[in-house]
């Protein structure tokens, strides 16, 4: 399967090696600094894309290829095992586009507005969630309060594990994670096989008790329970570092709420 993500990954890796710094416009810029750094890599490659805007998904939607790239900058040290998905569940496909995620770690407390990308993972969205049929939608109703005229809006937020939380061997390196079947490239070398296994149950819904403030999920059997999704981890051919494997640390679901 052909893709632009290999060229993009190589460009990002070389930028990290060459010390291409993130430039923070101000200390209040908590979202766009890494996104802007990634956008410059696309510009340098001559790739045309729709400009990122607030509340759009993914961040970068390529024009000439049906691919999209969602970026997530992570301060280090800090929260790195999971991230907020901002009302859009991760997936490898959205609106006819193949979706890739770009995770970059940078110093959490830099002493200037210019600082490096410490490490990087570009991964296919299916590595985070292989289901494509869920459609995110917020609902609301008006009946709350003593006069029955207050609206309650069900605004779903998602917290998903990052590749840094799911794997071992990705810290301090630049890694590309793709499903088996993508075209190989002589500039890359394989550094690991990764398998994710579908859960026995799927969330069918949830209820929230206004009196007890208790959230209760309901489940249904997963028709593809136990299905294995196999991925391959790559680095540049001249890279060193450890192999990449799935983490043996189980995800603590209470940790996802941090």
> What number is the average pLDDT over the span 171-195?
94
pLDDT of amino acid 30: 64
Has residue 184 got a pLDDT over 80?
Answer: no
pLDDT of amino acid 256: 42
The per-residue pLDDT for range 90-126, each reduced to its tens digit, is 999 999 999 999 999 999 998 898 999 999 999 999 9
Has residue 29 got a pLDDT over 90?
Answer: no
Alpha helix (H) ranges present in the chain?
Answer: 5-17, 32-45, 163-166
Are 205 and 193 in contact, with CB atoms under 8 Å apart? no
pLDDT of amino acid 87: 74
Q: Which has more pLDDT, 136 or 256?
A: 136
Q: Tokens 């045309």 sit at which residue?
A: 48
Are 91 and 125 in contact, with CB atoms under 8 Å apart? yes
The per-residue pLDDT for range 38-96, each reduced to its tens digit, is 999 999 999 999 988 877 899 999 999 999 999 999 999 999 999 998 778 999 999 99
Quick check: helix, strand or coil at residue 43?
A: helix
Q: What is the DSSP string of 134-187?
A: -----EEEEEESTTS-EEEEE----EEE-HHHHEES-TTSEEEEEETTSPP-TT
- 0.85 exceeded by pTM: yes
pLDDT of amino acid 220: 95
The per-residue pLDDT for range 129-181, each reduced to its tens digit, is 999 988 888 899 999 888 789 999 988 889 999 999 999 999 999 999 999 98
The percent of residues in the chain predicted with pLDDT above 70, rounded, is 93
Domain spans of the chain, in order of start: 5-196+229-257
pLDDT of amino acid 1: 58
Q: Tokens 């301090």 sit at which residue?
A: 172
71: tokens are 């970026």
Has residue 257 got a pLDDT over 50?
Answer: no
The per-residue pLDDT for range 196-235, each reduced to its tens digit, is 999 999 999 999 998 999 999 999 999 999 999 999 999 9
């Amino acid at each position: 399967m052909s893709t632009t993500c290999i060229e993009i990954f190589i460009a990002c890796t070389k930028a990290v090696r060459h010390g291409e710094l993130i430039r923070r416009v101000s200390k209040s810029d908590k979202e766009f600094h890494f996104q802007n750094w990634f956008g410059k890599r696309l510009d340098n490659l001559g790739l045309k894309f729709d400009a990122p805007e607030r509340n759009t998904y993914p961040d970068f939607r390529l024009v000439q290829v049906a691919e999209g790239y969602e970026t997530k900058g992570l301060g280090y040290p800090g929260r790195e095992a999971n991230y907020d998905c901002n009302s859009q569940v991760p997936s490898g496909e959205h609106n006819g586009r193949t979706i890739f995620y770009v995770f970059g770690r940078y110093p959490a407390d830099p002493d200037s507005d210019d600082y490096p990308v410490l490490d990087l993972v570009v991964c296919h969205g299916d590595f985070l969630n292989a289901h494509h049929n869920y459609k995110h939608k917020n609902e609301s109703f008006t009946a709350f309060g003593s006069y029955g005229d207050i609206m309650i809006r069900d605004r779903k937020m998602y917290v998903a594990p990052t590749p840094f939380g799911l794997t071992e061997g990705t810290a301090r390196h630049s890694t590309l994670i793709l499903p088996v079947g993508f075209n190989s490239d002589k500039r890359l070398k394989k550094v690991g096989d990764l398998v994710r296994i579908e859960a026995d149950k799927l969330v069918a819904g949830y209820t929230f008790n206004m009196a007890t403030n208790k959230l209760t999920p309901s489940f249904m059997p997963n028709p593809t329970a136990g299905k294995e999704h196999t991925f391959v981890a790559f680095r540049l051919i001249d890279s060193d570092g450890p192999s990449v494997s799935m983490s043996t640390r189980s995800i603590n679901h209470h940790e996802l709420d941090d």
